[in-house]
Amino acid sequence: MKKNKHYEFVSKKECKAYIERTTALIEALVKKLQSLGISAKYYIIGSAGKRNLVTCLVVNGKKLPIDLDINLEVLTVSKKYKDLGKLKEVIRSELNKVIREKGEKFSDGSNSSSVITFSLTTISFVSTAFIELFPSFTYSANQ
């Protein structure tokens, strides 16, 4: 059976709801990281940013994930996070804790080569958020 595939734009209203839920998690993550000696900031990039041109793939009438790309920029870290792999794992682990604490229906953050990915499941479709980590931080002198 041949699959019927096409892309549809996601409405601004629908997209806004996912952005709000996702950024609420990221804001909580940033606060948790601060308590661990990791200073960070985040920003929305890509099609969900200023342009509001978010699309989703529809296969045989079923909407598939949309991407909400969020960069988490690590600004300063304690020297105990000198190993970038350890830093990334701490961030991923703390993200998973925030997801559970907030009672959200996001999947656990999964590790890939450069990003941490988590999905928000709803009745109608799944929204995937990517947190890209930037190793552009400085070590905090007092930690």
Range of lowest pLDDT (17-21, 30-34, 39-43, 133-137): 133-137
Q: What is the pLDDT of residues 85-142, one digit of tens each?
A: 888 888 888 988 998 898 876 665 555 555 555 554 433 333 444 555 444 444 444 4
Q: How far is CA 97 from CA 12, 23, 36, 55, 103, in A?
A: 29, 15, 14, 29, 10
User: Cα-flanking dihedrals φ and ψ of residue 43, to 5°?
Assistant: -155, 150
